[in-house]
Structure 1
Amino acid sequence: MNTNERSFSPSRWRLYLVYSIAFILFAVAAGRLFYLTVLDKEFLQNQGEMRAVRTESIPATRGMILDRNGEPLAVSTPTWTVIANPRDLWGLSEDPVNLAKPIGERKIPEQEIARLAEAMGVGSALLKERFEINRNKGFMYLKRQIPPHEAEAILDADVVGVSKIKEYKRFYPAGEVTSQVVGFTNIDDKGQEGLELAYDQALQGKPGKFSYMKDLKGNIIRTLGQEVPEQAGENIELSIDMRLQYLAYRELKAVVTEQRASSASAVILDVRTGEILAMVNQPSFNPNDRSDLEPEELRNRAVIDLFEPGSTMKPFSVTAAMRSGQYNTESIIDTNPGYLRFGRYTIRDFRNYGEIDLETVLVKSSNVATSRIALSLPQDTIWNMFYELGIGSPVGLGFPGETTGKLPMHPKWHPSEIATLSYGYGLAVSTLQLAQAYMVLANHGYKVPVTLFKQDIPPQGEQVIPADIARDVVHMLQAVVTEGSGKKAQIPGYNVAGKTGTVHKVGEGGYAYDQYISLFAGVVPATNPRLAMVVMVNDPKGRKYYGGEVSAPVFSRVMEGALTTLNIPPDRPEGLREVRLEETNKAPYRIVQGN
């Protein structure tokens, strides 16, 4: 065999072929590796991140709700929530046969469940059942919103797939005192009632995001940084003054207990700004512990519940009469013989008062006189007065469930309808609407919007009652407190103007003559009003049920404390019989006699 034949032997040819194929394969692999790691490296990174990198939401702090002095009424506190990934737990097994099965067919790791149950302080069987139900899910809650030490105790059990996340829990420092106004959130920090619901979007804030790497057991091994920072929710500053709120709540709760009443509500307004300084209800509830919560306790009765206001509307019927020009402070009304008949319907007074002036109409709370006045006016006069004061219209707080009230309008009025409307029957109001009407009277007839938010700039309003007429009516209402049914509303050192009301409740068969609503509405100091308040007590079951006996004393105690708290000076030094009526809005400066 010659040299050329040996060099091209079949064995050498095969060797070259193997080398060539190996080189080609190596080149292809190297090229692919170069392509993936240099030219298309994002693919491998994305695949790796899909398996090891997670994006977590950063909860945003919910905005605080504050009173006008910065006292917190609703705050969010950080807590820990323990979670689990059932898929990670089902990935554990010492039995290769069990591991080879689909997750849905594998046996649960008993020892892990038992250890976790012991750390959580729950039954092993119950926890096992929860994991069985969620075995195909990648997320489940174990314990929500618990203290840090409790969360750490559970994590110390070192169970695969168990970790913790940060959440916020809502806390209400004032408890039941502001519960129906502030409302509450659910466990997911979403507003459910009150202002928490009405302003949920503003309070919520926006959650952030951050990325991290985890190991096979789900533990965070490295934080990759914050991608989107969280934004805290807006704080809301209310007009409520917690000093007055506590005072009003205490007295309202006391009278409901004493009189065994079904419910009650009270509202205090700043007559110049329209700010709600206090709004309280009974019964109430503790928003921090809602385990025994009854649905009826959720009602912000001052805004939602309706009732016939009765005699508390008589001052506005007198106001309408004076505004018409047909009546003035010297006008005399003949109430003889002490009753009025409209077919089978009769309107009566407590007794026959004979001929009386407008002040005496209010002091004696004469239904007959008020009816005669209303019937002497154009038929829409009383209705228009009530409507301009806000009766039959929503106050406009934006509060969930806020009522419009009821102010009926008839194409043709029957005389009995005009008469009953004039002394507060046949219409329905909320406690807040009635307080708004007295606020207008106290503010010299100038109506400003009612608000639950602190006002830094004086609001714009409208003059709905001539200032001199408003002042005259307020002066007449002082006599109701000094001489009439409102004596128990008196406050030492201050002139009080107000009106009592005792209304029969409406039952299934008409008016129930053994069930009442007790009312008192008033303003202080009467010579230069700053505050208006309405107290409504529903269905008192004690021996007392008249507004002057049940609600007027509550007004007196609350307002005495409010005037002192707000440093409003006395306008009636003790022992003096003369009361100086201050000059406001160019009104005449005069001296009037009173007790």
Structure 2
Amino acid sequence: MVAAVFLLLPVALVGRGVELQLTESDFLQGQAEARHLRVEALPAHRGAITDRHGEVLAMSAPMDSVWADPGPLLAAEGGVQRLAAALEMDAGALQQALSERAEREFVYVRRHVDPELAERVMALDLPGVALRREYRRFYPTGEVTGHLLGFTNIDDRGQEGLELAYDDWLSGTPGAKRVLRDRLGRTIEDVERLSEPQPGRELALTVDRRLQYLAYRELKSAVRAHDARSGSLVLLDARSGDVLAMVNQPAFNPNRRGGMRAEQYRNRAVTDLFEPGSTIKPFTVAAALESGRYTPSTPVDTAPGWMRVGRHQVRDVRDYGTLDVASVISKSSNVGAARIALDLEVGRVWELLAAAGLGRPTGVAHPGEASGYLAIMPPERPIERATLAFGYGLSNTSLQLARAYAAIANDGLLPPVSLLAGAERGDARRIMSARTAQAVRGMMEGVVQPAGTAPAAAVPGYRVAGKTGTVRKAVAGGYAEDRYTATFAGLAPVSDPRFVCVVTLDEPGGEAYYAGEVAAPVFGAVMADALRLYNVAPDATPRESRLVAAGRDGG
């Protein structure tokens, strides 16, 4: 019997071997593959964002992330403690996090680690611990373009700014591969590629990185010097409507967002509304010229420095007496603008402001763009017509105001604004005659002359046109006595405008709060840099240049 048993054992073993190889091989092979073959995602490279000259503003770089299979790691004596020490994490917190996810096979431990740290982690040879290749977004220009570009989350998906608006364009399509892992969860062999990752597409902007930096520097300096609550600056190409620079203060660095609040991320140039104040007066004058009833030399009586409109009163800072229409702009006379508006047909000024795009989005496709406010019907009450003439009773963003001024710079044609280089856009739309636009530009030159309200906006060698606007901020029950928004809008050179720029400072807190003192110098500095960088020929005569120099020096 014993001998028979020993003879039968080899027969049984051979029979079981045949059974495993022939009848159960598919099942066992499937079980092995289920334990060791895995499908891994292949991350796709997010498209870069560049400026108009191809300079990189945002890019994605490959990084490794540490992940773990909680089961094997928790079972390894001291494994969690060693991993936590290498990653400088709290061992107790890591132990708890892994224990709560013990039923899973994949848990991120630390995302986007440095290559040196990744090597140290893998050198520990811990069971269930491995690396996964991902991409991390970097912004070479930091806070200079923070509000414009926005940022992505840890999964490289757009969260704010243009990263959010064009997320589908920038995002790629992940690929997939089948890999073989050992018992510790480490990939030991790539078995096959199931699909290749498709990288995202590049996004080229109209912005000029050089001008963006210069605008950022000047605006930041002004906000600090005047203790302003915030500030915005928009620089446009007057001919095409391209946004060349768009900056805000306070800024944030998208590379380091720890401790930031959501309110710091908004692009104030397209989201924050303000009453434009006297920057609307050139459009009031343009409406008057278009009516045929006024010329730049038509006299307007502003004495005695105030006027009554119904139960309300409109005032100037002093009695200017009789001014011509051009001086209504250069002296920034509220009374003069109100008298002109009330003398025109009802709706004349409103129609031009509506045609200039005030009170509606620009269509620039930036998240959170505000519409602004302009009454849907022409105001008929005299006080509303009067206040609209000098920029109260409507609201707009810095970008909307810059677009409106582009029509004055572009001989009456309102160009569509854009942030995307080469993007399809509609045709420019005429809102006033070329003759009117040229006449208004000429009248606006007086603003930057020594006798105007903003000599600090002048640029030596160039004819500059602009307008100041210092507006009391609306509060509950009326307007504040000590809170202002200071705005300067202008263009250069007058003979053939190339750039339009709008500078807005919210609540300057120092003794100086007039736009000619706080916003105009920023305009002058940025415009001078833009004209120089783009090699725009000077158009001022020697005498005009001497007057400009005298005005900037206080002469």
Q: Please classify the TM superposition score into its range, dividing by the shorter chain length.
A: over 0.9
1:510 aligns to what?
478
Within the candidate set 557, 571, 576, 2:525 is matched to 557
Q: Structure 1 CA distance, aligned partners of 2:231 and 2:87?
A: 44
Matched, 1:197 2:164: yes
Unaligned 5+ segments in structure 1 are: 1-14, 93-108, 580-594
Report how many aligned residue pairs link the two structures: 539
Is the 1:492–1:574 Cα contact (8 Å) retained in structure 2? no
Within the candidate set 50, 61, 72, 2:56 is matched to 72
For each residue in 1:241-286, what CA deviation from the matched residue of structure 2 results, as whole angstroms up to 9, or x when unmatched?
Answer: 0111111111101011110000000100001110000001000111
1:378 CA drift (Å): 1.8
1:44 CA drift (Å): 5.5
1:189 CA drift (Å): 1.0
2:551 aligns to what?
none
1:47 CA drift (Å): 3.9
1:541 aligns to what?
509
1:578 CA drift (Å): 11
Q: Structure 1 CA distance, aligned partners of 2:184 and 2:204?
A: 46
1:283-298 to 2 correspondences below 5 Å: 283-298=250-265
1:574 aligns to what?
542
Is the 1:535–1:551 Cα contact (8 Å) retained in structure 2? yes
Task: Classify the secondary structure of the residue corresponding to 1:395.
Answer: coil
Q: Structure 2 CA distance, aligned partners of 1:366 and 1:89?
A: 77
Within the candidate set 499, 506, 515, 1:531 is matched to 499
2:337 aligns to what?
370
2:36 aligns to what?
52
For each residue in 1:452-499, what CA deviation from the matched residue of structure 2 results, as whole angstroms up to 9, or x when unmatched?
Answer: 112388962121111111001101111121131121111110000011
For each residue in 1:320-348, what CA deviation from the matched residue of structure 2 results, as whole angstroms up to 9, or x when unmatched?
Answer: 11112222233222223332212331011
Is the 1:273–1:459 Cα contact (8 Å) retained in structure 2? no
For each residue in 1:413-432, what CA deviation from the matched residue of structure 2 results, as whole angstroms up to 9, or x when unmatched?
Answer: 21000000011001001011
1:32 CA drift (Å): 9.2
Q: Structure 1 CA distance, aligned partners of 2:545 and 2:138?
A: 51
Amino acid across the alignment from 1:68: R
Within the candidate set 88, 95, 113, 2:72 is matched to 88
Aligned CA distance change for structure 1 residues 125 and 292 (closer, same or farther; 3 Å): closer
2:552 aligns to what?
none
Task: Classify the secondary structure of the residue corresponding to 2:246.
Answer: strand
Q: Structure 1 CA distance, aligned partners of 2:79 and 2:91?
A: 10
Is the 1:275–1:455 Cα contact (8 Å) retained in structure 2? no
Matched, 1:138 2:105: yes
2:324 aligns to what?
357
TM-score relative to the length of structure 2: 0.92
Aligned CA distance change for structure 1 residues 476 and 130 (closer, same or farther; 3 Å): same
1:154 aligns to what?
121
Is the 2:310–2:382 Cα contact (8 Å) retained in structure 1? no
1:241-260 to 2 correspondences below 5 Å: 241-260=208-227
1:116 CA drift (Å): 2.4
1:51-450 to 2 correspondences below 5 Å: 51-90=35-74, 92=75, 109-410=76-377, 413-450=380-417
Task: Classify the secondary structure of the residue corresponding to 1:223.
Answer: strand
Amino acid across the alignment from 1:491: V
Amino acid across the alignment from 1:485: T
Is the 1:273–1:458 Cα contact (8 Å) retained in structure 2? no
For each residue in 1:158-202, what CA deviation from the matched residue of structure 2 results, as whole angstroms up to 9, or x when unmatched?
Answer: 111100000111111111111000001111111111011111111
Is the 1:273–1:455 Cα contact (8 Å) retained in structure 2? no
Q: Structure 2 CA distance, aligned partners of 1:150 and 1:212?
A: 24
Q: Structure 2 CA distance, aligned partners of 1:276 and 1:422?
A: 28
Q: Structure 2 CA distance, aligned partners of 1:390 and 1:266?
A: 19
For each residue in 1:98-154, what CA deviation from the matched residue of structure 2 results, as whole angstroms up to 9, or x when unmatched?
Answer: xxxxxxxxxxx4422233233323333232222221212111111110111101111
Structure with bigger gyration radius: 1
Task: Classify the secondary structure of the residue corresponding to 1:173.
Answer: coil
1:522 CA drift (Å): 0.5
Is the 2:347–2:378 Cα contact (8 Å) retained in structure 1? no
Q: Structure 2 CA distance, aligned partners of 1:164 and 1:271?
A: 51
Task: Classify the secondary structure of the residue corresponding to 1:321.
Answer: helix
For each residue in 1:307-366, what CA deviation from the matched residue of structure 2 results, as whole angstroms up to 9, or x when unmatched?
Answer: 010000000011111112222233222223332212331011223333322101111111
1:540 CA drift (Å): 0.7
Aligned CA distance change for structure 1 residues 284 and 412 (closer, same or farther; 3 Å): closer
1:232 CA drift (Å): 0.7
Is the 1:442–1:470 Cα contact (8 Å) retained in structure 2? yes
Q: Structure 1 CA distance, aligned partners of 2:263 and 2:199?
A: 33
% identical equivalent positions: 45
1:471 aligns to what?
438
1:591 aligns to what?
none
Q: CA RMSD in A?
A: 2.5
Is the 1:209–1:226 Cα contact (8 Å) retained in structure 2? yes
Matched, 1:489 2:473: no
TM-score relative to the length of structure 1: 0.86
1:447 CA drift (Å): 1.3
Q: Structure 1 CA distance, aligned partners of 2:129 and 2:376?
A: 66
Is the 1:515–1:539 Cα contact (8 Å) retained in structure 2? yes
1:12 aligns to what?
none
Report the more deviating stretch, 435-444 or 365-374.
365-374
Aligned CA distance change for structure 1 residues 560 and 143 (closer, same or farther; 3 Å): same
Task: Classify the secondary structure of the residue corresponding to 1:340.
Answer: strand
Amino acid across the alignment from 2:222: V
Q: Structure 1 CA distance, aligned partners of 2:59 and 2:424?
A: 27
Aligned CA distance change for structure 1 residues 322 and 232 (closer, same or farther; 3 Å): same
Report the more deviating stretch, 357-366 or 569-578.
569-578
Is the 2:462–2:545 Cα contact (8 Å) retained in structure 1? no
Unaligned 5+ segments in structure 2 are: 548-554
1:18-29 to 2 correspondences below 5 Å: none
